[in-house]
Structure formats: structure tokens, C-alpha cells
Amino acid sequence: MTEQAPIIIVGTGLSGYSLAREIRKQDKETPVLMVTADDGVSYSKPMLSTGFTKGKDADGLAQGGTDAMADQLNVRIRTFATVTGIDSEAHELILGDERLAYSKLVLAWGADVIRLGLDGDGQEHVFSINDLMDYRAFRQALGEGKRVAIMGAGLIGCEFANDLRNGGYEVDVIAPSEEVMPGLLPEAAAHAVQQELENLGVGFHLGTVVDRIDRRGDGVSLTLANGETLDADLVLSAVGLRPRTDLARAAGLETARGIVVNRALETSAPDVYALGDCAEVDGHVLLYVLPLMACSRALAKTLLGERTEVSYGTMPVMIKTPCCPTAVCPPPSEAKGNWEVEQDGTSVKALFKSAGGDVLGFAVTGSYAMEKQALSKEVPPIHG
């Protein structure tokens, strides 16, 4: 008898480990091999923007070492392994000169940070945080530094701004948008979050971009397009993520913004699936935890023989800005309607209502944030 080819999961982030846990809830023995380009340490990516607030460094945010995870989940884990190709016809994953046979293959390798090509000789002071190893490098480089410039005022930029201020650092945020978290928060909620971050001491430079970053002493000087200059010890780039699609496209899989999958997480190749930040599920790239967990539960059943399409409930996004607790459930992009806003200082309750008065989305900040669960029951589930 030949040994059964394993289910191979590429990636040991929140997606990969969540899927492995869901598989083991239903089946203790089917062989599972996890392949990762990093050290395989288990951590929760959303927690990376809470380290200073919680008083935890990279080791403190780690949830389990590779050996512990392999034992806990009864899986094999290959660390620091670079996938170079997929041969879907042969059912093989290619790692350089090595080929690994799979019964089912799951691509859970996440997204890459978008890197800006900026002028100047200070690029070694620019960091992005996309995983625990990045976070460790950032904390080590920060050392005795006290000033951080953040490029990007989206969810990640705002969360890190709050966290770094809680850690006692001076923080400036630079972004081309006129508001924080554009496309995610309505104007009133965005202004509330910005106001509370400013009250905390965060400096905002909106409606402009960084043109160049030059070395200055032990740190850098940033020149902005509006003529301003800022000094910083380190620069944190938080300008967005791009799903990793190159290897999938090279293997002949259909890709768009992400690796294209249906509600069963099936790619265009047989027995190949995609999950998490790299996946475009039924036309949507959802870079949040709740959709990921729903997908993990459905995919585990499919991999074990019970084809299951993911069904999303209403999934509000919790924004980790403790100075201004915020939750948002954005209305569908095609929805027609208007925002109705109730406001008390920086406490905002914004409801997106259709012409018929149905609530299709919401954003709540400050004291209204506690209403997120009740409001979630009023909003229809994500696309179906």
C-alpha cells in the first residue's frame, strides 16, 4: 500500500492554523503537512497592533512554537520552505528541486505589503509589519528610539498610531486621504477617531504624501509633498496589502485581485483551494478575521469529503483604537442609500439606510460602540 498523500496547507498564519484546527476537530488522523516560508510560530496577526498597549514584545505575542503546534494539531510543519511552483496536474507542490505530493492543496499564504518606491537614502529605516517576524524586527530596530512616522491612515495605520502612543512614542501619520480610514468609515466616524487620536497626541498630515526619506543622524528626515519636513527614528509603512497571486497565476490558476475561488473555496484547478488574505471569495477579498474563520470551518468539511459552501453572517469589523472604540459594518458597495448620523462629541452612531428605511450598514464610535451586536442583527449578511 502506498502512503496516503497529505493535505498540504501553505502558510502558518491565522488562516493556516485555523484551518488545521478545524480539520482536527473532525478528523484526528488524516495526514496534514504545513509548509511555511517563515518560522512557523503561531500568533494572531490582529494582535500585532496591540503589543505596546498590552506590554508585550514579539515573544509575548507568540501563541505557540512550531514543535508545540505540530504536537497539538498532529501535523508536520516545514519551516523556512520557499514554494516555487504548483503542478496541479501531477498533484505536486514544488519547492526548488523538491516535489511534494498532495491529495488536496490549500493556499493560505496571505498578502504582501505594498511597498512605495521613495527617493532618498533612508530606506533602511522603513518597516512594514505583516507578520510576527516583521514585528520582532521593528521592535528591535526601534530600540531607544522615540519618534515614529506612519505612512497610511487606514485601519492598520490608525491602530499602530494608537498603540505606539500608548507605548510613549511620538507619532506622526501621513496619508493622501483627507480623512482616516477612507472607504471604511463614514465621515463623521472618521473625524471622531481622528479627534481622539489627536487628543492622545498623534500628529496628522493628511492630503499629502511622503516624497523622500533621507538619513539624518541616527534617524531620518521625511520630506512631504506639501513642503513639510518631519524627523523620525523609524518609519512604519502601512499603505495596504496585495493578495499573493503570482505563483498561482504561473500555475494556471484563475486570479483577479486575489486567487479566484467560489463559495466552497475551490480554485480553477481540481483539489486546489485558497483561504484568507490571498483569496478572492465569490468576488470579494475580505481581509478580516470573522470571514476567515467562517471560511476555515467550511473548508475543513470540504477537505474531509463534505463539500460545504461558506455562508457569512453579519460581520462587523472591530477597530483596535482604544482611545475611540470603533466598529463598522460597511454597506455593500452597490447599495443605494444615505448615512443617518447621531452624534455626541466623538461618540457617533451612523446608520446607512436604504430608501425604504432598511439598515444596510453601520459605524459606531465611543459610547455607541457597545451597540454593535444589536445593530449587527439588523444588517443583512455579507453578500448572501
Q: Compute the distance between CA of residue 344 and CA of residue 359 in angstroms, rounded to an integer.
A: 21
Q: Which of 384, 343, 334, 335 is nearest to 364 (CA)?
A: 343
Q: Are 275 and 295 in contact (CB under 8 A)?
A: yes
Q: Compute the distance between CA of residue 21 and CA of residue 73 in angstroms, rounded to an integer.
A: 7
The pLDDT, as a whole number, for residue 383 is: 52
In tens, the pLDDT along 186-201 reads: 999 999 999 999 999 9
Same topology between domain 7-112+241-304 and domain 115-237: yes
In tens, the pLDDT along 94-121 reads: 999 999 999 999 999 999 988 888 999 9
Q: Compute the distance between CA of residue 269 and CA of residue 266 in angstroms, rounded to an integer.
A: 8
3-state DSSP call for residue 89?
Answer: coil
Q: Are 33 and 3 in contact (CB under 8 A)?
A: no
- Nine cell digits for residue 185: 468609515
The count of other CB atoms within 10 Å of the CB of residue 143 is: 10
| Domain boundaries of the chain, sorted by first residue | 7-112+241-304, 115-237, 325-378
Q: Which of 283, 272, 312, 252 is nearest to 107 (CA)?
A: 272
For domain 115-237, give the fold. Answer: FAD/NAD(P)-binding domain (3.50.50)
- Nine cell digits for residue 135: 514585528
Q: Are 176 and 338 in contact (CB under 8 A)?
A: no
Whether the pLDDT of residue 333 is over 90: the answer is no
In tens, the pLDDT along 52-72 reads: 999 999 999 999 999 999 999
Q: Compute the distance between CA of residue 232 and CA of residue 216 in angstroms, rounded to an integer.
A: 9
Whether the pLDDT of residue 332 is over 90: the answer is no
The pLDDT, as a whole number, for residue 382 is: 64
Instruction: Using pLDDT thresholds of 50, 70 and 90, give the confidence band for residue 384.
Output: very low
Q: Compute the distance between CA of residue 146 and CA of residue 184 in angstroms, rounded to an integer.
A: 30
Q: Compute the distance between CA of residue 176 and CA of residue 131 in angstroms, rounded to an integer.
A: 25
Distances (CA, A) of 286 to 96, 185, 257, 364: 31, 16, 11, 20
In tens, the pLDDT along 338-353 reads: 999 999 999 999 999 9
Q: Which CATH class is domain 7-112+241-304?
A: alpha beta
In tens, the pLDDT along 15-26 reads: 999 999 999 999
> What is the per-residue DSSP string for 153-215?
-SHHHHHHHHHHHHTT-EEEEEESSSSSSTTTS-HHHHHHHHHHHHHHT-EEEES--EEEEEE
The pLDDT, as a whole number, for residue 151 is: 97
CATH hierarchy code of domain 325-378: 3.30.390.120
Q: Are 163 and 50 in contact (CB under 8 A)?
A: yes
In tens, the pLDDT along 279-316 reads: 998 887 777 777 888 899 999 999 999 999 998 777 78
Q: Which of 166, 168, 174 is nearest to 146 (CA)?
A: 168
CB within 8 Å of 70: residues ≥ 6 apart: 76, 77
Sole residue written with cell 466598529: 327
- Nine cell digits for residue 375: 445593530
Q: Are 62 and 41 in contact (CB under 8 A)?
A: yes
